[in-house]
Amino acid sequence: MQKPGHLFDWLMNYYALVQLAHFTTLIVAGIAFAVTGELGFPASPPPTGWSQQAFRFLFCTGIVDGLNALTTPFLLWAYLKRKAFLNWLGAANLTIMLYSSILFLAGTWPSGAWQTHSFEYGLLSLVFAPVMLLILLAFSRFLRWSSLLKNTSADRE
């Protein structure tokens, strides 16, 4: 197996750090919600506040994000040790991250929260931009690997 390279190594380590920060942020947000009953951190609300639908949406997305973040240390370990389950764990973890990002955008953009808190949401986007690069690289590698397996199995027939 060919070693993925320095950029991929850097992105995997960065992703693990981002997920650690993400999980910590979600814990803080959960505590703040338990104390105040309001969902304002880390997703600052639009001027009119979060609708009930957006609130439920963000709350559930936060739970899924938290559970996914808990699997990230295992993903990094599997990557560093080149474990056999790396591909399926990586595909699951990064797919959940991608869907969660899309859902977060879909739940926050139409409300006007991004327009009201441009700096905050822009900073959040910058922090997660390398993660999107990791997802693109990982899936392109996975697709190449899958096509190699298909070609190899076709040659055996």
DSSP state for residue 42 in the 8-state scheme: S
Task: Give residue 78's domain range.
Answer: 21-156
For residue 16, tell me if it sits in a domain.
Answer: no
For residue 99, tell me if it sits in a domain.
Answer: yes
Relative orientation angle of helices 6-36 and 52-81, to the nearest 10 degrees: 140
Q: How far apart are CA 99 and CA 68, in angstroms?
A: 11
Q: How far apart are CA 79 and CA 4, in angstroms?
A: 10
**Residue of higher predicted confidence among 19 and 144:** 19
For residue 14, tell me if it sits in a domain.
Answer: no
Considering the entire predicted model, what is its pTM? Answer: 0.82
Residue among 106, 110, 98, 107 nearest 139 (CA): 98
For residue 9, tell me if it sits in a domain.
Answer: no
Q: Which residues of 1-31 are buried (b: 16+ CB within 10 A; e: fewer)?
A: eeeeeeebeebbeebbebbeebbebbeebbe
Q: How confident is the model at residue 53 (pLDDT cuts 50, 70, 90)?
A: confident
Number of folded domains that form the chain: 1
Contact partners, residue 57, CB within 8 Å, separation at least 6:
103, 107
Q: Which of 32-36, 37-41, 70-74, 126-130 has the lowest mean pLDDT?
A: 37-41
Tens digits of per-residue pLDDT, 87-131? 889 989 999 999 999 988 888 898 899 999 999 999 999 999 999
Query: Beta strands of the chain (E only): which ranges?
Result: none
pLDDT at 16: 96
For residue 10, tell me if it sits in a domain.
Answer: no
